Structure 1
Amino acid sequence: MMLSRAAENIYWMARYLERAENTARLVAVHSEFRLDRPDRSGFFWEPVLSITGTLEDFDARGLPRTEREATNFLLSDPQNPSSLLSSCSYARENIRTLMEMLPRESWEAVNGLHAAAARPGVGAPQMRDVHLREIIGRSQAMAGLFSGAMNDDAGYAVLRLGRTIERGSFTVQVLENALARIGDGVGDMLSLQAAEWVGVLKSLTAYQMYRRSLRGPVTRLGVSRFLVFSQVFPRALVHCLGGIGQALGRLPDSGAAAATAARLSAELAAAETAGADADRIAGLLASARSDLSALHQAVCETYFIAPTRVAPPAPASRTQAQGA
């Protein structure tokens, strides 16, 4: 039987590793889009800070609204608990106590990931693309290591649970933010808005699979339905809920969390059958945020030593942290 403390460390290690990869990809895609849209008005990095739930903290610290400050804050600021560096640090701290449960190579891999994240000057434009590609590659290699070298037991179920809850929450955050600020566009704005929706897909590694699945133009409705209802794309919300259900099925006493996941799955299935439009999907995402928060809390209360004092996985409070 796995100890509660070990389960908690595995869960948070998985969440932080997934979060590191998500942050790296989000910044990489936004940096690429910045080159294509140098004339975009307003603070270009505000959407990224909003998605990561750190805009309020960024402004509260009085940091200048510049690209340099924003990327340093997102990538390498140790005072930002949701920065790439912080996520890698938290993952390393959690894995440190799990050497008897996880493949030995995972300790070396997470140290390599942390060293890459801590490299000086990683936010500089001339280094950023190569650096972030390395972070993404290392994160994906760790996911492959776990899937290929761990027993398919309760420990791996907890790892999958943490990774998939984080992944589903990030999809909700990205899509909810996009629906609030990007339309379909008409006339001269049509191609510009389509380019923004391509950026949304790329933030979730979804562009190629979207084109394979839909074989049509990139639209607000098409992207929304694909990222929510796809049963075959790993980062789609419905697919994430399926993974959550499978992981919970390998764990004892999962009733409360499983019921929350099943309720949200049923709500999404009904909306898909009804042909939900983009505005209806935006409402569904608010419900999904609440349900994922409740699911996370149920996991903490059921499997960890004491309820973890953690903010819900929502855009405004993505800076989750473990209790003492």
Structure 2
Amino acid sequence: MVMMGRTAEALFWIGRYTERTENHARLIDVYYHIREEKETSSDQSWSRLIDTIGDRTAFTEQYGSFTEQHVLQYITLDKNNSNSLLACTNHARSNLRNIREKMPAELWDIMNGLYLWLKEKEVRDITNDSPHLFYRFIRDTLSMFQGAATSVMPRQNEWHFVEAGRYLERAENLLRLLQSLCHDYAREELSSYPLMLSVLKSVSGYESYRREHADTVNLSSIIKFLMLHETFPRSVSFSFQSLERSLQGIQMEDPDLNLAVHRLAKLAGKVKANLACMDEEDILSGKLEMTLSALRESCNVMGLRMSKVFFPSREEVIA
């Protein structure tokens, strides 16, 4: 199938930005609701959220203090923050608009509707009503987008590029979250129990985890579950397995491009195989932080290689 680099890149970033928006909405919602259970100050709670999904330096330069209003504005509605929910939604919408003729109309309607709704919001719309309902609406809309894509998109290159972006983003976001969990746990800035539960709930893994581990809630079991579980859709292992499958599904007419994507799929498979070799001793050892960093670097390498192979020219791309 012939596919221009611009189209491939737009598809890849639609997957990444929709996944990033949903992941961040989940995390904001959970952090918002564990504030009552924490033992630290409100400023520490909000600064932790900025460290996880934002840029502390950029935030402090613009806002100064870690108040509820400032943090919610920065991570939800700030157009100048490239990782805010509004900015990510706009990026996904812009890429989708550029290739509307190649994508099902339902996807444009859903994403455009979410962007138009979100851009009219102010912080008081979040805090005066129900923050939970606000962020749940964003999550539900993105779930609708994913459901529509799953239902109507042919399993051709377009689908596989979107899915490759989605699962690469999912793996990277979870690894960043696990690094934050280990860091906070080591510093004992939060009661470990609510902190660990918040991580499970942020990826909708609480029920699945409890079905396997009952009342056992400890750091090693949670990290093992989120990293190594082969059937939980938001685990690192499942993400790399799905990334490998998506890359294998891409079929290009150019033999060199086919070889390049085959190598990318092999890299994803290698990471998945290395994860399968990990055990509880590896998780409990002092090498965990190094392992998480190495896995994040693998995500970065794959993203850079995708860019180099399929869309080396960036001047025409909105992302």
Is the structural similarity TM-score above 0.5?
yes
**CA drift at 1:183:** 4.8
Q: Match of 2:147, SS?
A: helix
Counterpart-to-counterpart distance in 2, 1:131 and 1:8? 30
SS at match of 1:205: coil
Larger mean CA deviation between 23-32 and 58-67 belongs to 58-67
**Counterpart residue number, 2:101:** 100
How far apart are the structure 2 equivalents of 1:283 and 1:243? Answer: 24
Say whether 1:158 aligns with 2:157. Answer: no
User: What residue number does 1:282 align with?
Assistant: 289
Which residue pairs with 1:133 in the alignment?
136
Q: Distance in 1 between matches of 2:120 and 2:308?
A: 37
More helix by share: 2
Q: Which residue of structure 1 lines up, in the alignment, with residue 177 of structure 2? A: 174
Distance in structure 1 (CA, Å) of the matches to 2:264 and 2:38: 43
- The 3 A distance-change label for structure 1 pair 62 and 134 is closer
Letter in 2 for 1:90: H
Q: Secondary structure at the match of 2:44?
A: coil
8 Å contact from structure 1 (residues 184, 194) kept in 2? no
Q: Find the residue that maps to 2:283 and give its secondary structure.
A: coil
- Counterpart AA for 2:212: S
Kindly provide the amino acid, as one letter, of the partner of residue 148 in structure 1.
S
Deviations 1:281-303 (A, max 9, x none): 32211100111100111111111
Are 2:245 and 2:265, in contact at CA under 8 Å, matched by a contact in 1?
no
* Map of 2:269 onto structure 1: 262
Unaligned runs of 5+ in 1: 310-321
Q: How far apart in 1 are the matches of 2:309 and 2:180?
A: 31
1:117-168 per-residue CA deviation (whole Å, 9 max, x = no partner) reads 2232344253422111100000000001001100001110000000001111
CA contact (8 A) 1:77 1:83 kept: yes
Out of 288-297 and 256-265, give the one that drifted further.
Answer: 256-265
Corresponding letter in the other structure for 1:61: Q
Match of 2:45 in 1: 44
Aligned-CA RMSD value: 2.3
Matches of 1:245 and 1:55, distance apart in 2: 33
Q: Which residue of 2 aligns with 1:303?
A: 310
- Structure 2 CA distance for aligned equivalents of residues 135 and 26 of structure 1: 12
CA separation of 1:231 and 1:58: change in aligned 2, threshold 3 A: same
Q: Percent identity?
A: 23
**1:210 and 2:213 correspond:** no
Question: Is 1:55 the equivalent of 2:62?
Answer: no
Residue aligning to 2:222: 223
Aligned length: 307
Report the Cα offset of residue 279 of structure 1.
3.7
Q: Unaligned 5+ residue runs, structure 2?
A: 251-257
- Residues 15 and 92 of structure 1, relative CA distance in 2, 3 Å threshold: same
* CA shift digits 1:15-55 (9 cap, x unpaired): 11111111111111011011333754752112211111422
Q: Return 275-284 or 44-53, whichever deviates more.
A: 275-284
Residue 115 of structure 1, CA deviation: 2.1
Matched, 1:232 2:235: no
